[in-house]
Chains A and B, each alone.
Chain A
Amino acid sequence: MRLTPIKSIGLTVTAFLATSPALCDKPEDLYFGEAVYYANQGLYFEALERLDAEFAQHHEVDEPNLDSLFPHIADAQFSLGDFELRYRMHHRAGRAISAVLEGAVDEMVRNDAAYRLARIQFQKGQMTDAMHSLERIDGRVPAAIEDDIEFLRANIHLAEGRPAAAIAPLENLQHSKQFAAFAAYNLGIAFLQNGSKQEAIAQLDRAGQVSASDPGELAIRDKSNLVLGTLFLEQGEFAEAATHLDRVRLDGPYSNQALLSSGWANVSAERLERAIVPWGILAEREVTDRATQEAMLSLPFAYGRLERHGRAAMLYGDALAAFDGEIDKLNASIESIREGRFLAALSREEIRKDKDWVIRLRSLPETPETYYMMELLASHDFQTGLQNYLDLADLRRKLHTWRTNFDAFEDMIAIRRGHYEPLLPDVDASFRELDSRIRLRREQHRMLVKRRDDLLTTPRPSLLATRDEQLVLARIEDLEAGLADAESPLADELLRRCQRLRGLLTWTLETEYHERLTAFDTNLRRLDEAMTVAQAQYDQYIRARQAATHSYVGYDRSVQRMRARTNDSIATLDRLIIRQGRLLEIVAIDELVARRSRLENYGDKARFALADSYDRATQAQARRENP
């Protein structure tokens, strides 16, 4: 009887812990929002690039609390960790979240950070650290992650081989909206690992009957029934085993395994006719599946036990032909991989745009090898290696594009230099002249403003005299100075006339003072406006002048440095891609060789069984003819 070890099918469910991409409220920070936009499309490199740049800018500002990222800083740090994890940068992932934990943040935010960090550590396989992070959770916890924390805690205990400690948190999750089905199954496994077989059976029975509609939950229900059926099979309770195995959906991911085990349960219970039904269904399924291949041998085996050797011989013959065909296909696949077609197919852009691209690979006529590698393609290590290979290829494409951009940048800089350098000396000379004039006017303007301000506090009418009046006043002063020492009646008369004239002028200045001050102020305000326009034009010129220089000066070294870094990275990438590609090919070929060996082995058995069945059929016929 075939006993599938519990360990291989009884693995606890942990993949569910991976969260969906950052689905947050619309951020007020556009650049964080831009990172989320890319992440939501699965473009994690672009998302990380934007978010890294935004964080760098945030840390450079003088007053970070006024930056638009500030209100979202915790969310952004969580997202950074998520994006890094999704881009398979486990070494970096978690650093930003640790920063939240160390910062002075609200209790709920800190607890959320502790959970997220624990989840990252769990995915990295750092179970002790993950548990330590969970232990930091204290006080209020966001309601949305309460169940997630318990589920993670239970999974850490299970991964650490402490099933007894996992039981309590899993029991708490039995009515969880999000985790009920998964927790029910994991609780059964925890009981099983803890040696509590009866509790495990009761729990798996419950998990195998939960009402579910979600494909993930349905799969877990099937898995519970498969594990339970296998347990009963191990205990020799074949009828009970068949009951549970028959509960597994015929179109679910565990149906092949369940059909195979169901057949063996019936054979073991000596119900051979009933074993033929599941094996008959299974033998008609995809021939590359291991369970199907086994069923192709098991089915004639059952017919043989029923003394229907002719039918058995025919089915052994069919199996043999199928195995030979598959061996040919495997040989072609191994050759195809050696010729590099496998990696070329995996790198095809249009395939990878489909989220079910691994499944779609099967439909490609030029990649027969993928028929046999669905299990391998789905394994964690191979997936990581394959994703790394694809990521490296993407990075290389990016770097090659950038390298071309550097040439364009240098052309652009050279064109700008060629345009500006001949013009700038003349422009600068004109500017120097203009600059000295504008400085003079600015000084004059400043003095006039000062005079107006002085007049407002200390009125001095003479300062508002017109040019003619000033000339007249100066002439009067000259005349008065000339007449000062003269002693004659005429001189006295002239001096009186001068005083009358001065009086007349003073009268005019005094009586018109306010009117003149108002006019002076009005004119000065107009001048202010003109000066503002002149200053703006001056500033604009300065900016344009600086922009002209900045458009081509100071880039040479950074472009050279970046080109060197890019070239170094391309060289590293080339090396890594070759190594990663070869490794994938080796692993793929190893897998195919192992599958071929198995088929060859099956073929040998089928040949032997075929001959044996013919002998028995012949003997039976002889007995019938000569009783």
Chain B
Amino acid sequence: MSRLDRALLSLLIAGGLVASASAEKLSGEQMRSLDGQVQEIKSDVLGIASELSNLEERLLYPSGTQIAIFVSVPADETFRLDAVQIHINGEPATHHIYSYKELEALQNGGVQRLYSGNVPTGGHELSVTMSGKQKGGTEFTETDTFTFEKGVEPLALGLTLAGPGLGKTGIQIGEW
């Protein structure tokens, strides 16, 4: 074997072993020490977020008038939910257009807070319109109207949205 062959072989043998040792040493030690501080600040910011949510709720949605509307989709549903629109007492309250990621999150057991707002105590009317596509690709739009009673406690309403089927309404409402 020539001198070049030997040099080449030794070079090649060594090649895989010299995996930037200095970089690994740095990343191993200094990054780990910083990681602990990063975790601490994450904890602090979560604490601030929690306190801020509480403050926002007290300021913007006092318990006497607070209403929150949540949306969920049954796990076995195959329809594609495109958008939801909500009217309270005939006035538009909110609407939402779903991304694929959001829809997947709903289908995997997530519950979306669609609306937070205020209504006075007493009886109210809630109108829900959903639009989407059925499994076969047929587009559909469905609207349903419900009445609800707002008491002095905060009110949480849960909407369960399903694809349209024979003899059943796709929009169900429940109070939590």
Contacts and interface: CB of A to CB of B under 8 A. Distances in A.
Contacts of A87: 42
Interface string A238-266: 00000000000000000000000000000
Given A53-B50, A576-B38, A381 B24 contact: yes
A53 to B, nearest CB: 5
A609 interface: yes
B44 to A, nearest CB: 5
A3 B13 contact: yes
| Interface SS majority for chain B | helix
B89 interface: no
A98 interface: no
Given A91-B36, A379-B27, A586-B26, A26 B20 contact: no
B31 A24 contact: no
A594 B20 contact: yes
Among B38, B48, B49, find the residue whose CB has the most chain A CB atoms closer than 10 A.
B38
Among B17, B39, B45, B56, find the residue whose CB has the most chain A CB atoms closer than 10 A.
B45
Contacts of B2: 612
A384 B39 CA distance: 11
A346 B119 CA distance: 45
Given A26-B74, A294-B15, A395-B42, A34 B111 contact: yes
Interface string A571-590: 01100100110010011001
Interface residues of A, number: 93
A92 interface: yes
B7 A5 contact: no
Given A34-B70, A398-B49, A565-B44, A376 B34 contact: no
B26 A573 contact: no
Given A49-B50, A558-B55, A562-B52, A92 B39 contact: yes
B141 to A, nearest CB: 24
Interface string A372-387: 0001100101101100
A3 B17 CA distance: 10
Interface residues of B, number: 73
Nearest to B31: A385
A588 to B, nearest CB: 8
Given A294-B12, A395-B45, A550-B58, A36 B34 contact: no
Contact of A569 (B38, B41, B112): B41
B108 interface: yes
Contacts of A290: 15-16
B51 interface: yes
Contact of B5 (A33, A37, A301, A583): A301
Contacts of A580: 34, 38
Contact of B9 (A1, A409, A540): A1
A405 B48 CA distance: 13
A562 B51 CA distance: 8
B8 A2 contact: no
B59 A412 contact: yes
Interface in B42-89: 42-56, 58-59, 62, 64-65, 68, 70, 72, 74-75
A595 B62 CA distance: 61
Interface string B112-124: 1100000001000
A392 B23 contact: no
Contacts of B15: 2, 290, 294, 598
B22 interface: yes
B109 to A, nearest CB: 5
Contacts of A1: 9, 13
B32 interface: yes
B45 A569 contact: yes
A384 B31 contact: yes
A48 interface: yes
A626 interface: no
Contacts of B105: 36-38, 40-41
Contacts of A507: none
A609 B70 contact: no
B68 to A, nearest CB: 8
A383 to B, nearest CB: 10
Interface string A413-425: 1000000000000
A601 B101 contact: no
A24 B47 CA distance: 26
B44 A605 contact: no
A58 to B, nearest CB: 14
Given A562-B48, A594-B23, A40 B34 contact: no
A336 interface: no
B55 A409 contact: yes
A41 B102 contact: yes
Given A30-B158, A385-B31, A409-B55, A576 B41 contact: yes
Contacts of B97: none
A413 B58 CA distance: 12
A248 B43 CA distance: 46
B166 interface: no
B4 A583 contact: no
A38 B110 contact: yes
A412 B43 CA distance: 29
B23 A590 contact: yes
B22 to A, nearest CB: 5
A569 B34 contact: no
Given A37-B112, A382-B27, A609 B55 contact: no
A297 interface: yes
B23 A53 contact: no
Contact of B109 (A24, A45, A555): A24
A291 to B, nearest CB: 9
A151 interface: no
Given A34-B113, A376-B23, A2 B38 contact: no
B59 A576 contact: no
A564 B74 CA distance: 44
B110 A89 contact: no
A612 B3 CA distance: 10
A197 B45 CA distance: 52
A203 interface: no
A319 B93 CA distance: 66
29 contacts: A26-B74, A30-B158, A36-B111, A40-B108, A40-B109, A41-B105, A91-B40, A290-B16, A301-B8, A381-B31, A382-B31, A385-B27, A385-B34, A388-B31, A388-B34, A392-B38, A392-B41, A402-B49, A543-B64, A547-B62, A551-B59, A551-B62, A562-B52, A569-B44, A573-B41, A586-B26, A594-B18, A598-B15, A608-B7
Interface of B: 2, 4-5, 7-9, 11-13, 15-20, 22-24, 26-28, 30-32, 34-56, 58-59, 62, 64-65, 68, 70, 72, 74-75, 101-102, 104-106, 108-113, 121, 152, 156, 158, 176
Given A26-B75, A40-B105, A565-B44, 18 more contacts: A23-B109, A26-B109, A30-B111, A33-B72, A37-B106, A38-B110, A376-B20, A381-B32, A385-B35, A388-B35, A388-B38, A391-B42, A395-B45, A569-B45, A572-B44, A590-B23, A605-B7, A608-B7
- Which 10 pairs between the two chains have the least Cβ-Cβ distance? A33-B111, A37-B110, A40-B105, A381-B27, A590-B23, A594-B20, A385-B31, A388-B38, A49-B49, A591-B23
